[in-house]
Amino acid sequence: MEDSQIIDLYWHRDEMAITETKRKYGAFCYNIAFNILSVNEDAEECVNDTYYRAWNTIPPQRPVTFRAWLGKVVRNIAINLWNKNHTQKRYAGMTELLCELEDCIPSPHTIEHHMEEKELSEYISAWLRSLAWEDRALFVRRYWNGTPLGELAKEWNIAPGKLAYRMRRLRGELKTALEKEGIYL
């Protein structure tokens, strides 16, 4: 079923909207949540909360890109759950991702002195658009979706060590690009 048809089901308050969303995007949403939380039950809870949020948000919203919208919703829900529970030290996935990015993304306190968060987001988006498609896809899959390096290496048929080096190079390029814009750690 096409995304526009699924969204129409939500607009008509047809419960098949949830079924079709789960059929088409359930695995996608689960992978994002699991990559952040590393706990099966919590990932499943986030996915169910995503369906609930979609039901309560559509209408009045009409997402332009349904897959991206769902990805953002499940990611935000998973990050909120991770923040709530991370003091219990159960979640290694998000900690690892944040540690990898901390060398190229300034802390919120530094950003407040240099620019608004929106400006930083725009710089990162522009930098991503400047990348080759494959590098952009790998970066987004790793740092937005939280896909593990081993899984990415297997999917893209790249040696894990080579992919780790490539990701380190991309983080360095991001850091350099941000520094050119006057954003320093």
**pLDDT tens-digit map of 43-88:** 999 999 999 999 999 988 899 999 999 999 999 999 888 888 766 5
Q: What is the pTM of this model?
A: 0.66
Which residue pairs, CB below 8 angstroms and at least 24 apart, start in 49-56? 49/77, 50/74, 50/77, 51/18, 51/21, 51/22, 53/77, 54/10, 54/17, 54/18, 54/21, 55/10, 55/17, 55/18
* 25 pLDDT more than 60: yes
Look at residue 38 in the predicted model and tell me its pLDDT. 87
Residue 29 structure tokens = 């949403």
Mean pLDDT of the 78-99 span: 70
Residue 143 structure tokens = 């740092």
Look at residue 120 in the predicted model and tell me its pLDDT. 75
What integer best gives the mean pLDDT of the chain? 85
Look at residue 44 in the predicted model and tell me its pLDDT. 96
* 149 pLDDT more than 50: yes
* 154 pLDDT more than 50: yes
Look at residue 114 in the predicted model and tell me its pLDDT. 41
